[in-house]
């Protein structure tokens, strides 16, 4: 892998070979970012990067299995050889499996797997890439979360989520939101903003393409948070619209 030469700000998006992750990468590439697609499958990642390059965007692939600590650290080391600093990290990779309606019927192994990818991995990836983020002038970290991780929405009997099951997935995103808050507090002194984005119910492989939103619509709030200015929020959970105008809920 030859060292890339670019003065453009850089962004790493995990789970970026398809769906919302690829849409995030495309939109940030269109804003002038040098985009790194963090992908478990190198072939799929390269195909996605080739499509972005064909559109005139600066796109690269970084082999990255977010659940393997050794691979995560190796990826951070490789990226550090390519760029001087990482301006944006988008922890987008996520899974949803084995989701019966009743929490009492969910398989613990399924819940554990979702926590590994949806909760533990974003923290592990952030820890590994933090030295590169600290080299940037004003880095941004965005966690792709979910409205299903909102405790206030889950307990609102008149709300949309009162009758939603999926306990393991919801819990993994609620825990991710807490980790985001703790990181935001810790990294405030470093000038690094950390936020969580709720992309909404989007048609992706995660839900069998049953969502009513497009991946392009879902990506916008993530992109807004990734490109926040110095007066932008940190430690927040945001849904639609520009970050400064978004709904902030728990």
Give catalytic status of residue 169 as yes or no.
yes
Which residues does 174 contact at the CB level (< 8 Å), separation at least 6? 149, 150, 151
Which residues does 56 contact at the CB level (< 8 Å), separation at least 6? none
Reference 227, options 154, 121, 141, 167; nearest CA is 141
Which residue intervals of the chain are DSSP H helices?
19-30, 42-54, 69-82, 108-115, 121-134, 151-154, 167-187, 215-226
Between the CA atoms of 173, 178, 179 and 182, what dihedral angle is there, to the nearest 10 degrees?
Answer: 160
Give catalytic status of residue 173 as yes or no.
yes
Please give the Cα distance from 208 to 100 (Å, whole number). 15
Catalytic residue (one of 169, 182, 193, 201)? 169
What is the per-residue DSSP string for 18-34? SHHHHHHHHHHHHTT-E
Residue pair 195/184 in contact (Cβ under 8 Å)? The answer is: yes
Catalytic residue (one of 33, 166, 173, 193)? 173
Q: Which residues are catalytic?
A: 169, 173
């Amino acid at each position: 892998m030859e060292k890339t030469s670019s003065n453009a700000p850089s962004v790493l998006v995990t789970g970026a070979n398809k769906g919302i992750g690829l849409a995030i990468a495309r939109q940030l590439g269109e804003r002038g970012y040098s985009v790194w697609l963090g992908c478990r499958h190198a072939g799929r990642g390269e195909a996605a990067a080739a499509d972005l390059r064909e559109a005139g965007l600066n796109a690269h692939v970084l082999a990255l299995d977010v659940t393997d600590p050794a691979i995560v650290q190796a990826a951070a080391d490789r990226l550090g050889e390519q760029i001087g600093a990482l301006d944006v990290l988008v922890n987008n990779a996520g899974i949803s499996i084995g989701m019966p309606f009743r929490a009492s019927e969910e398989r613990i192994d399924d819940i554990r797997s979702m926590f590994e990818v949806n909760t533990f991995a974003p923290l592990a990836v952030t820890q590994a890439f933090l030295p590169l983020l600290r080299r940037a002038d004003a880095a941004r970290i965005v966690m792709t979360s979910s409205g299903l991780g909102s405790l206030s929405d889950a307990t609102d009997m008149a709300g949309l989520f009162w009758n939603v099951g999926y306990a393991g997935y919801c819990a993994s995103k609620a825990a991710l939101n807490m980790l985001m808050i703790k990181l935001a507090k810790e990294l405030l002194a470093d000038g690094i903003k950390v936020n969580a984005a709720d992309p909404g119910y989007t048609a992706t492989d995660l839900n069998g393409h049953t969502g009513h939103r497009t991946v392009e619509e879902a990506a916008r709030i993530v992109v807004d948070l990734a490109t926040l200015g110095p007066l932008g929020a940190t430690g927040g959970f945001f849904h639609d619209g520009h970050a400064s105008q978004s709904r902030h809920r728990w």
